[in-house]
Amino acid sequence: MTERERQEQEIATIREREVKINLSTADMRRLWTKAGSVGMTAGELLASFIGDLVCGTYTNGSDERMYAEQWFERCGFGMFPEKTFLRYLIEWDELESILSDEENVIQGKADLAELEARPDKDSDDQEEIEYLKEDISGWQESIDKVFSDFVEWCKDEKHGSYEEEMSKVREWYTNMKGAAYDE
C-alpha cells in the first residue's frame, strides 16, 4: 500500500469524535479565544495539534511535529514515565497478543468445562479435551512470559500483581476502543 492510499484510508475514517477533558471555565474560554483568533473552533485547533503530536493523517509540517514531540517530552510525559504494564505492552507491541491470549484462555476454560461436563464423553471428546488443555496451557504460558518479562523490565520499581495491572490495561483498552472505533 502506498503512503497516499494509506492516507486516503485514514481520511475516510475522519468524523467527529468525543474526548472528555477537564478544564477550568477560564481555560476553556482562553482555548476558544486562541482558536477564534485564527478563525478556528477549539476542536479544529486541538485536532490540528493532535495531528502534529501523533504524526497523524494531517500535520502542519515537520517542524510542527518536532515541536509537538518536544512539548510532550518537556512536559515529562516522555521523560522517565512510570513503568506500567500498559506502557510495557505498548512499547513491546504485546498489547493485542496478551488480550487475545487472555480471551482464548477464558473461552478455552469455558469450552473445557462444557466438554468435561458431558455425561456421554467418547474418545473424540477426550482427545479434544487434551488438545484444549494444551492450548490453554500454551496461552497461559505466553501470558506468564510477558508478565515475567515486564517484572524483569521494572527491576526494583513497584508494580501490581498481574490481575491489578491487567485491570488497568483492560480499562484503558476498553476506553480507547470506545473512542477510536465508535462507529
Tens of pLDDT, residues 6-21: 889 999 988 888 888 9
| Selection from 88, 53, 77, 50 nearest residue 67 by Cα | 53
With CA atoms as reference, report the closest residue to 89 among 27, 145, 19: 145
pLDDT band at 182 (very low <50, low <70, confident <90, very high): low
Alpha-carbon distance of 34 to 62, in angstroms, equals 22
91 and 39 in a common domain: no
For 11-66, the pLDDT digits (tens) are 998 888 888 899 999 999 999 999 999 999 999 999 999 999 999 988 899 999 99
69 and 125 housed in the same domain: no
**pLDDT tens column, 82-98:** 889 999 999 999 999 99
**Structural domain includes residue 111:** yes
Q: Where a domain ends, among 19, 47, 74?
A: 74
How far apart (Å, rounded) are the C-alpha atoms in residues 149 and 89?
10
- For 83, residues 6+ apart whose C-beta sits below 8 A from its C-beta are 153, 154, 157, 159
Residue 19 and residue 179 in contact, taking contact as beta carbons nearer than 8 Å: yes
Q: Place 183 in a pLDDT band, splitting at 50, 70 and 90.
A: very low
Same-domain check for residues 95 and 128: yes
Instruction: Answer whether 70's CB lies under 8 Å from 53's CB.
Output: no
Number of domains in the chain: 2
Closest CA to 89 of 152, 174, 146, 155: 146
Q: Domain residues for 109?
A: 85-180
Among residues 74, 103, 124, the one where a domain terminates is 74
Residue 38 grid coordinates: 485564527
Q: Is residue 104 in some structural domain?
A: yes
Whether residue 137 sits in one domain with residue 173? yes
Of 28, 47, 74, the position where a domain reaches its end is 74
